[in-house]
Copies of this chain bind each other. A is one copy, B any other.
Amino acid sequence: MSQSIIQNTIEDLESLRSKSPLVHNITNYVVMNNTANALLAIGASPIMAHAIEEVEEMVTICSATVINIGTLSESWIQSMEKAAAKAVSLGKPFILDPVGAGASNLRNVTIRRILGAGSPSIVRGNASEILSTLNSSGKTKGVDSTDSSDSAVDSGKSLSKVTGGVVVISGATDYILSGAEKAQVRNGDILMTKVTGLGCTASAICGAFAAIQPNQFRAATSAMAVMGIAGEMAKTKTSSPGSFQVAFLDALYEIGADTIKQKLNGE
């Protein structure tokens, strides 16, 4: 099992770098620069575009669409709905990051609207965001997680039944859930919580792998493995968050088969 995750991750990363897929992002203002740089570093080609007049064209020319609700306004929500519907109609991967789910009524309504427009092939969030996305009792403290990822696994499984797709719960252990399937990745470093938007980066990296690996469960697992290992690589360079953010991008660019074999801790 662990062996197959290692091999799959190595193969998917090679495929990603050789295909350099276009990944469309409708994401928040805070992380746009870092998300685009992370996608470039791992080998994808990012497009950031939100205008309602062009989102359908962008979904069409891209191999995956990532929708992140971090900074909302009504016109952006409408574009997110339109992009979600288009991706589903074309059978293309669509990743939802429900940032701050539960922190405001607007966010909960937005999640319902997007889920209504189209079912995401992957939803990625921290435990409280996944709980809130399911309208469960989880209360989110803003964009930080207040529930351990372990306790959210049941809710994640339920959400997977609702969407018919993959659900990723980020935390000290990342859980990747899809129907009866379940994978775990135990890589990463606590310093990753001191850099804004690395959760958003994880969702974008899920999009990059989803763009080249049709099995969305495997794609999400490879993405979370790469994220966690890159975090550990960055931690060997620094213990402070400013330089960690920089070293993390370097690690996404430098990560290769040897490092994956050596560090991947999953099943």
Contacts and interface: CB of A to CB of B under 8 A. Distances in A.
Interface of A: 22, 28-34, 36-37, 40-41, 45-51, 53-54, 57-58, 61-62, 70-75, 100, 103-107, 141-144, 193-197, 238, 240-243, 245-250, 252-254
Contacts of A45: 141-144
Contact of A243 (B22, B30, B246): B246
**Number of copies of this kind of chain in the complex:** 3
A49 B101 CA distance: 13
B254 A250 contact: no
Contacts of A253: 194, 240-242
Among A22, A36, A53, A194, the one with the most B-chain Cβ atoms within 10 Å of its Cβ is A53
A144 B44 CA distance: 11
A127 to B, nearest CB: 16
Contact of A106 (B51, B62, B103, B245): B51
Contact of A47 (B40, B54, B100): B100
A54 B105 contact: yes
